[in-house]
Amino acid sequence: MRGEKGILKFVMEERIPLIGESFPAMEVVTTRGKLALPDVYRGKWFVLFSHPADFTPVCTTEFHGFQEKAKDFAELNCELIGMSIDQVFSHIKWLEWIKEKLGVEITFPVIADDTGKVASRLGLIHPGKGTNTVRAVFIVDPQGVIRAILYYPQELGRNMDEIVRMVRGLQVSDANGVAIPANWPQNTLIGEKVIIPPAQDVETAAKRPQEYECYDWWFCHKKL
């Protein structure tokens, strides 16, 4: 039987990583050969997304959608990598089908996690959905730190424009020390402007309305 320390270690290994933690180091088998994550993308952003299964309609629309946005991600110095618990030959055949039938060549690697080890490590197996991986998205920065996580139910396909927006927004936030408003860059209150972090003392709060456009001292914004 496991001792208390052994149980805790098992639970910690199997839980989903958290925002702000380093992406777990692992070697994965992909349609582009073996890759060491996150080191292979060191110095770049990357988006790892899981899908329930090959040769399924929603997943096919997603791969088509991600490939259509591949140029947008590349312009943000961001790589794409897909994954599911299918075997690599299934991935290869499915990607061939997409190219032949839909006229789109998938240029990013797809992890073949047929043992389920990667999915377990990332917390991608939902106990109520059998052994298929959920639709999850991990956005990872150039230092290998997880910056955002999205979870979707199997019946709902993802919005690729939002994922591109998230990567761009995180980069703008990092570069400028600002926060990003809802629906940016088309926010209904401040448009493409960004939000100044709230003042942390009375003196700074008093200066804010003179330094920036503000609704109040705690809600100030500016153009980039």
**What whole-number distance in Å separates Cα of residue 166 and Cα of residue 51?**
19
Q: Which residue has the tokens 């292979």?
A: 40
**What whole-number distance in Å separates Cα of residue 138 and Cα of residue 148?**
6
Q: How far is CA 114 from CA 16, 184, 189, in A?
A: 19, 38, 47
Q: How far is CA 68 from CA 20, 46, 121, 178, in A?
A: 29, 16, 29, 29
Among 59, 78, 214, 220, the active-site one is 59
Question: Cβ(212)–Cβ(221) under 8 Å?
Answer: yes
Look up 59 and say whether it is catalytic: yes
Q: How many other C-beta atoms lie within 10 A of the C-beta of residue 27? A: 11
DSSP one-letter string for 131-166 = TSBPEEEEEE-TTSBEEEEEEE-TTS---HHHHHHH
For residues 26, 28, 34 and 35, what is the CA-based torsion angle, rounded to 10 degrees?
Answer: -50
Question: Cβ(137)–Cβ(47) under 8 Å?
Answer: yes
| Catalytic residue positions, numbered | 59
